[in-house]
Amino acid sequence: MSVPHARGQRPYDAAMTDLEDPTDPSRMQAPTGFHHDRPLDRRDLLDDAIAQFRRWLTEAERAGIALPNAMALATADADSTPSVRHVLLRGIDEEGFRFFTNHDSRKGRELAANPRAALVFLWKDLDRQVSVTGSVERLPDHESDAYFASRPRDAQLGAWASHQSQVLRDRAELEERLAENDARFPGEVPRPPNWGGYLLRPATVEFWQGRRHRLHDRFRYRRDDEDIGAWRVERLNP
């Protein structure tokens, strides 16, 4: 049974409103019945993990979810110290998942030292998550050039201006570099040599569908070889 709530207010919003201290994480509990209890069975899934991901990504976009291609990207350095941030998925095909960034950023340095990563997509309004693990490699220059050329001019100049992940004196320093590069490149803006794309070749892809009482449906696709072979699909305990 769903928890009663005001018209137009979601169950979780109503529960949060009732908290005496809404900043206390231990009290931030979704009420029983928060999930729509939409079942996910093996027969609902395609045999190919990439095709299934495309289906869910399309459904997230059609549901009006803002930035459905936003994903958490987790990396680790050579000592296995992890870090995580959100980036945007910019390509998906049978090879894997593509994204772009500064190679000298923290994530770029960590991928150079430890070329494996994990991704998580969260589509909260659909009670869905997808998590991916695999190896990562740089994309060839022509792919990075093509994507960079498609970006707005301000974003292109920003890639030159930002020494990503390095200490910044103040905002004025960043804006000065932006203006300098705007004057430096009055026409076409070339791709910075330390900026480009990555391909994550998936070894596992897990699809998560929220269910009531935290008894969620989880299915993991995996294959022993990231480049070839059919996917094996396994149901996991929630």
Q: Measuring CA to CA, how many Å separate 214 from each of 32, 57, 93, 238?
A: 9, 23, 32, 7
Residues 6+ apart with CB under 8 A from 157: 178, 181, 182, 185, 189
pLDDT averaged over 10-residue windows placed end to end, the chain, 238 residues = 46 54 74 69 96 98 97 97 98 97 98 98 96 98 98 98 95 97 97 98 97 94 76 97
Asked if residues 212 and 35 have their Cβ atoms less than 8 Å apart, the reply is: yes
What is the four-CA torsion angle of 51, 54, 60, 63, rounded to 10 degrees?
A: -80
Does the annotation count 116 as an active-site position? no
β-pairing, 195-209 with 217-222?
A: antiparallel
Per-residue pLDDT, 95 = 96
**143 conformational bin, left if phi > 0, alpha if psi -120 to 50, beta if neither:** alpha
Q: Active site residue: 153, 214, 232, 235, which one?
A: 214
Helix (H, G, I), strand (E, B) or coil at 73: strand
Q: Which CATH number fits domain 36-141+200-236: 3.10.105.10, 2.30.110.10, 3.90.1310.10, 3.30.1050.10?
A: 2.30.110.10
Per-residue pLDDT, 227 = 56
The residues spanned by each domain of the chain are 36-141+200-236
Per-residue pLDDT, 4 = 43
